[in-house]
Amino acid sequence: MPDKKQSIILGGLVVGLLSTSYLGMINQACCLGVLIGAALSVWHYTTENDVTLKTGTGAGMGSLAAIFGWGLSTVLTWALTLVGIGADKFTKRGVIEGMEAQLPPEQADVIIPVMEDYFFVMYIVGILSFALFGAIGGAIATKMFKKGGDEPTEFDAVEEEG
């Protein structure tokens, strides 16, 4: 089966860019940026290779594109924040300052120390949610972008067995 890396990277770049700093607001609409990037990876692959993919294969491609995009958006948002043009609310300090401003002091005194100790959990939840929505976007895209007929290609069947 033709290599999927180029398509996954392309989709991941779109996910990463649409999830960076202020552009990340697009993901407030049901992870729309992740869905778009994941679907793009499947579209690119099926178009370039004139194939129809199984739903599971498309979901896997979308999930990988989303995880790659999550990593890219994390690095880009961090870099933009360092130079002062990023959305600081996506950093640990920004989240904590936002909570301090919105919560009553007695609640902030309880919640903020927990947030500081377990902030990494937000990153794990982020990766998992990107992977999930990427899989959904990839699965939907396999149904939308059938290029080699209605049935998945023989290449796909060989990949599933091996």
Q: Are 152 and 146 in contact (CB under 8 A)?
A: no
pLDDT of residue 64: 97
Flag whether 96 is in a domain: no
Per-residue pLDDT of the chain (162 residues; tens, 9 = 90+): 689 999 999 999 999 999 887 777 787 788 899 999 999 999 999 999 889 899 999 999 999 999 999 999 988 888 887 887 766 555 667 777 777 788 888 888 888 888 777 778 878 988 999 999 999 999 999 999 987 666 665 555 445 444
pLDDT of residue 58: 96
Q: How far is CA 115 from the centre of its chain?
A: 23
Give the domain extent around 68: 5-85+126-161
Flag whether 92 is in a domain: no
Q: DSSP for 119-141, please give it.
A: THHHHHHHHHHHHHHHHHHHHHH
pLDDT of residue 26: 82
pLDDT of residue 107: 85
Output b/e per residue, 142-161; b: 16+ Cβ within 10 A: beebeebeeebbeebeeeee
pLDDT of residue 101: 80
Phi then psi for residue 61, to 5 deg, are: -65, -45
Flag whether 100 is in a domain: no
pLDDT of residue 105: 84
Number of structural domains (the chain) is 1
pTM, two decimal places = 0.78
Residue with tokens 């679907």: 39
Flag whether 54 is in a domain: yes
Flag whether 36 is in a domain: yes
